[in-house]
């Protein structure tokens, strides 16, 4: 039985509900660090494996394309299992793949292991946001999403700088091996702390795979949400993978200074994401998304056109970029997760994770085709990538206003 909005609100305020959100945030933290650390390690990979921007773009997109494929397949069965069991099974595969990344001896095998990590990581991300949408009422969902999304900020503040320090001291393999060990501890904690989540099972089993496919792709509101997500990925992930390489090659930062860039950006978003989530719940998700998205255009264009700068100026421009570009994500995911009925939400969010990964993979590939290395080692045409991201941001604003919130998309209780 689906509870009322009021009862659900009180349920999510209970200590075990907050603990559940923190558990989900920790799971997100580990697989986000796994994905993010590839980007600042870009200068090392290009030097050690003797590859260029195009091959580096492929290294990033291999993860996202694999995540997209697994998300598509998972959408047919994800609603047929208890959310906790599905999450733990996927997380176990992610841990193994991450450990193998740290053992890869060549560029080709590294790409292969990134494919393995993507097969599990992409579905995990969609499942986490499905659990949030199942448990948290729409009126508080942006704040809950922002709380879990702080995993991105914590990854930037603590995870990535620590990973880069480990890489500088003991080599690039060390961060992946340490992350795999830490993720194993997180998995054991999740087994103990997360309750079974099976309230969706009765209604989910009424539809077969083809029925779910028709129900999801036959609904125009879902298609608008998918289009919105692709545009949002192009508006961010065409730029983000090449921030670290351009900071080193064009702006003049040393590789040893990159952790400071991610630390400051993550620390700022740790605070601003919560503020944006609160304002989105109070004044409307669509309204706040529009404001933050439009405000993000300026830092996108600034960071993609930077000349050589002092360290403080380079870090300040990056902080502004991270605050506004990542600030769009909380309201955006609250809008998207509320565009599907609860009985379809797991499949819808799995498809959405797949679409999200396809969008980010295409964005990083497109950026890799646009950016080239000059004779002096600088990266050229990054400014064109910035204009592409700015245009996609404007498209996001238009698409977001066409996504409708499903009236009965009320949360479900976790089974005690």
> What's the CA gap between 72 and 60, in Å, rounded?
19
pTM more than 0.75? no
* Structure confidence at residue 206 (pLDDT): 59
Does the residue 407 lie in any domain?
no
pLDDT in tens, 242-286: 898 899 889 988 888 888 888 888 888 888 888 888 898 888 889
* Pair of tokens at residue 4: 């009322």
> Residue 47 burial by CB count (10 A; 0-12/13-18/19+): exposed, middle or buried?
exposed
Does the residue 157 lie in any domain?
yes
CATH of the domain at 331: 1.20.1250.20
Q: What is the DSSP letter of 239?
A: T
Count of structural domains, the chain:
1
Does the residue 319 lie in any domain?
yes
Does the residue 308 lie in any domain?
yes
Q: What residues of the chain score a pLDDT lower than 50? A: 1-13, 408-416
Does the residue 303 lie in any domain?
yes
Does the residue 230 lie in any domain?
yes
Residue 103 lies in domain: 5-400
Does the residue 409 lie in any domain?
no
Dmax (CA) of the chain: 65
Does the residue 201 lie in any domain?
yes
Are the C-beta atoms of 271 and 322 separated by less than 8 Å? Answer: no
> What's the CA gap between 41 and 320, in Å, rounded?
22
- What is the DSSP secondary-structure string of 275-306? HHHHHHHHH-HHHHHHHHHHHHHHHHHHHTT-
* Structure confidence at residue 9 (pLDDT): 38
* Structure confidence at residue 96 (pLDDT): 94
């Amino acid at each position: 039985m689906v509870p009322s909005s009021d009862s659900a609100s009180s349920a999510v305020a209970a200590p075990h509900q907050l603990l559940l959100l923190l558990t989900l945030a920790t799971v997100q933290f580990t697989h986000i660090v796994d994905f993010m650390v590839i980007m600042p390690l870009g200068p090392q990979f290009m030097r050690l494996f003797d590859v260029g921007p195009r091959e580096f773009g492929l290294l990033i997109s291999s993860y996202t394309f694999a995540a997209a494929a697994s998300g598509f397949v998972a959408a047919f069965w994800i609603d047929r299992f208890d959310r906790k069991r599905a999450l733990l099974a996927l997380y176990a595969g992610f841990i193994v793949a991450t450990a193998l990344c740290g053992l890869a001896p060549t560029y080709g095998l590294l790409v292969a292991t990134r494919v393995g990590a993507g097969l599990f990581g992409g579905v995990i991300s969609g499942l986490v946001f499905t659990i949030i949408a199942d448990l948290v009422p729409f009126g508080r969902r942006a704040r809950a999403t922002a709380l879990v999304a702080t995993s991105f900020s914590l990854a930037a503040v603590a995870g990535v700088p620590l990973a880069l320090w480990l890489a500088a001291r003991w080599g690039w393999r060390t961060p992946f091996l340490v992350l795999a060990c830490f993720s194993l501890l997180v998995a054991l904690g999740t087994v103990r702390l997360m309750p079974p989540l099976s309230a969706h099972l009765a209604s989910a089993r009424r539809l077969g795979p083809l029925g779910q496919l028709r129900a999801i792709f036959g609904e125009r509101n879902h298609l608008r949400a998918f289009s919105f997500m692709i545009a949002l990925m192009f508006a961010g992930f065409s730029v983000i993978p090449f921030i670290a390489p351009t900071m080193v090659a064009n702006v003049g930062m040393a590789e040893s200074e990159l952790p400071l860039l991610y630390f400051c950006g993550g620390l700022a978003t740790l605070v601003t994401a919560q503020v944006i989530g609160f304002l989105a719940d109070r004044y409307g998700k669509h309204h706040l998304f529009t404001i933050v998205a439009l405000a993000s255009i300026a830092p996108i264009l600034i960071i993609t056109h930077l000349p050589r700068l002092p360290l403080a100026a380079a870090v300040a421009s990056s902080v502004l970029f991270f605050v506004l570009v990542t600030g769009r994500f909380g309201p955006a995911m609250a809008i998207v997760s509320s565009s599907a009925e609860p009985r379809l939400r797991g499949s819808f969010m799995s498809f959405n994770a797949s679409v999200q990964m396809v969008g980010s993979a295409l964005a990083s590939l497109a950026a890799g085709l646009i950016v080239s290395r000059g004779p002096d080692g600088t990266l050229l045409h990054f400014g064109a990538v910035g204009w592409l991201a700015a245009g996609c941001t404007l498209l996001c604003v238009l698409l977001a206003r066409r996504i409708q919130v499903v009236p009965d998309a009320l949360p479900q209780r976790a089974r005690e």
